[in-house]
């Protein structure tokens, strides 16, 4: 793919004129097109160093997996082609971009915490693009409309509606807990999810919305090196037993979320590597979340 040619075409079609519009558009579009490389989470130190040295040829893109270093250099290069002053800021742990428009300094950091690069794909609010001295002074609303961002799902509104209905229908907290996880099957499987990281980010966000920021998510990430297969398995404890859900690649190469049996979990454990298996069988204290559930249900 000739990314530069495609970006020029889309910028012309949207009639973007100002450098601020162009910089914002390029940030959003790279977030839509590229994926955070999960191999960086599981690879050896040598493999990680190789990924850190990778650079994307903007006129010949064949791999859409990136990490902070490769995205920062990609984004800075794109900005330069549109005559926007930009530099990559690098330290031992992270890379991002600073750029200047009309003496105003901006920061663009799409991979920090894997936040924007994953959440852009769900039409969520962009967190790490804005003025260097005070990002809160940067207004996204007009630019979002200009570049047609969020023309897909309004995830926050949908989540709020779904959770309200689940609270109303659930007979008790355990029923609500189970239905929240089951509802993720419907939401995620209705979309064509082509990557691992954005899907797991959405799952964690959905669970935090359902139960609160302090909710202790029980999950383990698995990696099968030979086939480079990534799986995230979640557990809940209901009726004195553990139930398991997995987010994993299907035969059509999309990622889906579904309930799995103990037998399926054993197969995953035999074929893949994980660092945090113990998380799956820890019984978390959920009394606080159960109390919050009944308070909300009584108030509705």
CA geometry: angle 210, 216, 221, nearest 5 deg: 105
pLDDT at residue 192 is higher than 60: no
- Mean pLDDT within 206-222: 89
* pLDDT greater at residue 192 or residue 283: 283
- State the Cα–Cα distance between residues 148 and 24, nearest whole angstrom: 12
pLDDT at residue 79 is higher than 60: yes
What backbone torsions phi and psi does residue 16 show, to the nearest 5 degrees? -80, 130
* pLDDT greater at residue 80 or residue 45: 80
Which pLDDT value is given to residue 265?
Answer: 92
Residue of 14, 29, 27, 38 whose CA lies nearest to 197: 38
Which pLDDT value is given to residue 8?
Answer: 96
**Average model confidence (pLDDT) for the chain?**
86
- Whether the predicted model's global pTM rises above the 0.75 cut: no
Per-residue confidence at 114, pLDDT binned at 50, 70, 90?
Answer: low
Q: Which residues contact 277 (CB under 8 A, 6 or more apart)?
A: 220, 269
Return the domain boundaries, the chain: 3-146, 155-299
Per-residue confidence at 127, pLDDT binned at 50, 70, 90?
Answer: confident
Token pair for 240 = 């004195």
Least confident among 23-37, 128-142, 172-186:
128-142
pLDDT digits (tens, 9 = 90+) for 81-94: 999 999 999 988 89
**Which H or E run includes 99?**
strand 95-101
Question: Could you tell me if residue 224 is left (phi over 0), alpha (psi between -120 and 50 degrees) or otherwise beta?
Answer: beta
> Reduced to 3 states, what is the DSSP secondary structure of residue 193?
coil
Per-residue confidence at 152, pLDDT binned at 50, 70, 90?
Answer: very low
Q: Which residue, chain included where needed, has tokens 């454990």? A: 269
Which pLDDT value is given to residue 146?
Answer: 86
- State the Cα–Cα distance between residues 51 and 115, nearest whole angstrom: 19
pLDDT at residue 258 is higher than 90: yes
């Amino acid at each position: 793919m000739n990314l530069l040619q495609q970006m020029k075409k889309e910028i012309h079609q949207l009639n973007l004129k100002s450098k601020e519009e162009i910089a914002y558009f390029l940030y959003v579009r790279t977030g839509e097109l590229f994926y955070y490389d999960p191999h960086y989470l599981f690879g050896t130190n040598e493999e990680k160093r190789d990924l850190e040295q990778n650079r994307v040829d903007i006129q010949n893109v064949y791999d859409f997996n990136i990490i902070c270093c490769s995205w920062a250099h990609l984004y800075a290069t794109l900005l330069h082609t549109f005559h926007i002053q930009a530099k990559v800021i690098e330290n031992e742990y992270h890379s991002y971009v600073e750029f200047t428009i009309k003496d105003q300094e901006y920061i663009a950091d799409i991979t920090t915490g894997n936040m924007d690069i994953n959440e852009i794909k769900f039409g969520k609010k962009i967190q790490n693009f804005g003025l260097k001295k005070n990002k809160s002074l940067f207004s996204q609303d007009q630019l979002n409309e200009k570049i047609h961002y969020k023309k897909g799902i309004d995830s926050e509104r949908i989540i709020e509606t779904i959770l309200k209905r689940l609270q109303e229908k659930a007979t008790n907290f355990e029923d609500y807990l189970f239905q929240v996880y089951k509802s993720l099957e419907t939401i995620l499987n209705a979309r064509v999810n082509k990557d691992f990281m954005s899907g797991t980010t959405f799952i964690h966000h959905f669970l935090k919305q359902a139960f609160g920021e302090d909710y202790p998510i029980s999950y383990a990430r698995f990696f099968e090196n030979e086939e480079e297969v990534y799986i995230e398995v979640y557990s809940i404890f209901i009726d004195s037993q553990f139930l398991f859900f997995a987010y994993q690649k299907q035969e059509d190469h999309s990622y889906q979320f579904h309930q799995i049996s103990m037998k399926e979990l054993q197969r995953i454990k035999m074929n893949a590597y994980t660092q945090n298996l113990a998380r799956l069988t820890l019984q978390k204290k959920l009394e606080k979340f159960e109390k919050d559930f009944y308070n909300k249900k009584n108030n509705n």
